[in-house]
Amino acid sequence: MPLTQRTSGVLLHPSSLPGSYGIGDLGAEARGFVDFLASARQSWWQMLPVVPPSVGASPYTAVSAFATNPLLIDLTELVAEGLLTQDELAAAELPASPRVDFGAVHQKKHAALRRAFERFSTRSALKQELDNYAQGESAWLEDYALFSALHAAHGDQPWTEWPEPLRDRAPAALKKAKKEHAAAVEFHKFTQWLFDRQWAKLRAYCQSRGVALMGDLPIFVAMDSADVWANRRAFQLGKDGKPEWVAGVPPDYFTEDGQLWGNPLYDWAALRERGYDWWVQRFRNAFRRFDSVRVDHFIGFYRAWHVSSKAATAKEGHFAPGPKAELFERVEKELGKLPIVAEDLGVIVPEIWALRDQLGFPGMRVLQFGFGDIERGNEHLPHTYVKNAVAYTGTHDNDTITGWYQSLDAKVAEGGKEAGFAAAQREHVWRYLGGQPERVHWAMIRLVQMSVANTAIFPVQDLLGLGSSARMNVPGVAGGNWGFRLQPHALDGDPARILGELTTLFGRQRKA
């Protein structure tokens, strides 16, 4: 599905789907969501990264930039394949909850997956299929599987705290570790293979229903990851593997202290010498799974905010230049035209937009941001949109539209120093909408739908008019994020009908 066509879609991470096992997965509920998209005449299902998260369950802090999250595997399919029994499946069930309990899910699902792996070892036909998969993905899978096995064997300590021979990947130490932890290494390959098989089926189903998949590729990777452990020369690290400077963003709309991400920074000179091979492989992996990819923090390819690894906040730091167009030109030379969406939000200088336009990537427009500056119009208000853009009511980092709007009412009612600004924002919304909206979420969706932006995307929470408790992430807050889940049948009825009507009215319906 080209980003140059006039289309729309919905943002929903698979973990947010309903189901009986504590977290959404790639099974029946995922196919049901695809059916919803098709009935609502949508063209895109946008997701957050489907990587295995490390600290805090964030899909933007991954154990591997190439691997996938085993918690999203559909266990019911393993029963059909004879890898789990009905009793084992029942043992993995969790009580219905509006949020993911990641600890409980991890315990239950991994127990089920390990039981499936034990039974799998006797299935020679399937074993050959896994071996073929492992051989095809060996460039990243071998390191990921060994890293995961060693991480568990060392009590989940960061790899920088492992014994030096393993920390520094001494060949003899790696050879010994592969032998000692052979079963654990094979288990991690097994879960990746399972995900890959189920993903292929889900993607084929999406294609049969005319729905394209949009993924999400964070620019940075986690410090405690297979990527950094296996590719130290690609990052700015000391002899002990630890960084002097880490990534973040300066103070912005979201946080007055900025955001201290703590990710290691790339050694762009070293990567350039290698022809950006690691990035070519990463994009190839992404486009194997997705029809389009949103590149998170596109700004970082122009310049990145470097913060001391000893700093408590990201207030103090400095910008350092990135590879700019050179990296993407190299990737395009290897892979062909890149269907990339550039996440160009935050502290922007004109040169960043110039880089985006030079590469031909659509940028992002977020309607909620359009009402932050009352004195002037800005690029996030629909009358200023351009065609080569992806427009949102909000993103995973925003409050829901309903929650944000209700917060304006609450601030006005409370009085105090924020009341005046909140009242002015609310009046700005009313004037822009031509009156006080009866259902603000549909009024905002309508605005984005009717804009000239080629692509329009709506978080599923906005389709349902959910409040702040349903938001996916609060930037700068360590706990309580990423756990939102849909309730069963939440999308039945009005959401599909109304979204479909607006989509057809403004010429964004699925193309045959």
H or E element that contains 305: strand 303-308
CA–CA separation, 491 and 464 (whole Å): 8
196 is catalytic: no
**Active-site residue, from 74, 296, 344, 399:** 296
23's torsion region: left (phi>0), alpha (psi -120 to 50) or beta?
beta
Residues 6+ apart with CB under 8 A from 130: 120, 189, 190, 193
d(C-alpha 20, C-alpha 354), whole Å: 48
Return the DSSP state at 265.
P
* 392 vs 380: CA distance, rounded Å: 9
Q: Is 343 assigned a catalytic role?
A: yes
CA distance 49 to 379: 26
Select from 208, 191, 210, 198 the least CA-distant residue to 30.
198
Amino acid at 450: M
Phi, psi of 164, rounded to the nearest 5 degrees: -50, -45
Q: Which two tokens stand for residue 373?
A: 């500056």
Sign of CA dihedral 502, 26, 479, 317: negative
Give the Cβ contact number of residue 339 at 10 Å. 18
Helix or strand (DSSP H, E) at 389: strand 389-392
Beta sheet of 340-342, edge-to-edge order: 340-342, 292-296, 212-218, 44-46, 7-11, 455-459, 389-392, 363-366
Active site residue 492: no
Q: CA angle at residue 199 from 494 to 215, to 5 degrees? A: 65
* Catalytic one of 343, 344, 399, 462: 343
Q: What's phi and psi for 74, nearest 5 deg?
A: -80, 115
**Residues in Cβ contact with 364 at an 8 Å cutoff, skipping those fewer than 6 apart:** 294, 341, 342, 343, 344, 345, 389, 390, 391, 392, 395
**Of the residues 227, 397, 399, 462, which is catalytic?**
397
Tell me the catalytic residues.
296, 343, 397
